[in-house]
Amino acid sequence: MAEPLPVTPLFTAEHIAKRVHVMAEEIAAAIQRQVMVVALLKGSFVFTADLIRALHHAGMHPEIDFLGLRSYGNATVSSRKVTITQDLSDEVAGRNVLLVDDILESGRTLSYARNLILARGAQSVHIAVLLEKPGKRAVSIDADFIGFSTPDQFVVGYGLDYANRYRELPYIGVLKQH
Ligand code: 5GP
Ligand code: MG
């Protein structure tokens, strides 16, 4: 197995934990309803695990479901297509959904997920992302709750991967030599 490449820390575990708790308070204050959290796999699983416990502290008691999406295609980001790798297991019709993803970049993944959930009859969809890269949007979509803005560099850790590795890092950092 190849040695991991060095990673330059960008957001420490403490920094992330503090922000996630504040985000949960923001979410609880803004959405005063029963929500169904829909976590986009795989990248958001670590963030979602921390966020739902912070939501509990903030007084929310969400249901949880998972949606696996993959964006594929080569060369340009604008030619990418999104497909379902693992569908939801629960009904979203009539529910207030909180979509959770790791990072909002072109917006294609979250746009696809939001359209799917609305097409299945959800009553409302809010979006929470840990990271967003400003100025990178290819489709018009905004997150309601954002952890951090991050520079236009490839980041890994805290669920985010490079070739399905580095997800276990407790912090978020930039892969050197990428
Ligand atoms: P979008 O569809 O908004 O262009 O991209 C969102 C998805 O691309 C994220 O869910 C994530 O999987 C991936 N992605 C975008 N930027 C990065 C990055 O800097 N690092 C990693 N690991 N994944 C990224
Ligand atoms: Mg992803």
DSSP state string for 103-170 = EESSSHHHHHHHHHHHHTT-SEEEEEEEEE-TT--SS----SEEEEE--SS-EEBTTB-BTTBSTT-S
Mean pLDDT score, 18-42: 97
> Which pLDDT does position 176 carry in this prediction?
82
> What is the residue-averaged pLDDT of the chain?
94
Alpha helices, DSSP H only, in 31-131? 45-57, 108-119
> Which pLDDT does position 115 carry in this prediction?
97
Top pLDDT among 94 and 3 is at: 94
CA atoms within 13 A on the CB side of 157: 19
Ligand 1 site residues (CB inside 6 A) read 43, 71, 101-109, 154-156, 160-162
| pLDDT digit string, tens, across residues 72-118 | 765 455 567 899 999 999 999 999 999 999 999 999 999 999 999 99
Of all protein residues, the one whose alpha carbon is nearest to atom 14 of ligand 1 is 103
Cα 127 to averaged position of ligand 1 atoms, centre (Å): 15
Q: Output the six-digit token pair for 69.
A: 């999406």
Mean pLDDT score, 121-145: 96
Cα 13 to averaged position of ligand 2 atoms, centre (Å): 20
- For the full predicted model, state whether its pTM sits above 0.75: yes
Most informative mutation of 103, 152, 176 for ligand 1 (most atoms within 8 A of CB): 103
Q: Considering every ligand atom, which ligand is closest to the CA of 111? A: 1
> Which pLDDT does position 78 carry in this prediction?
53
Mean pLDDT score, 56-60: 98
Cα 40 to averaged position of ligand 1 atoms, centre (Å): 11
> Which pLDDT does position 39 carry in this prediction?
98
Contact 108, 138 (CB under 8 A): yes
Per-residue exposure over 46-66, b if at least 16 CB sit within 10 Å of its own CB, e if not: bbbebbbebbeebebebeebb
Cα 176 to averaged position of ligand 2 atoms, centre (Å): 20
- Please report which confidence band the pLDDT of residue 140 belongs to, taking 50, 70 and 90 as the band edges: very high
> Which pLDDT does position 5 carry in this prediction?
85
Ligand 1 atom at shortest distance from the alpha carbon of 44: 10
| pLDDT digit string, tens, across residues 113-122 | 999 999 999 9
Of all protein residues, the one whose alpha carbon is nearest to atom 4 of ligand 1 is 106
Cα 104 to averaged position of ligand 1 atoms, centre (Å): 7
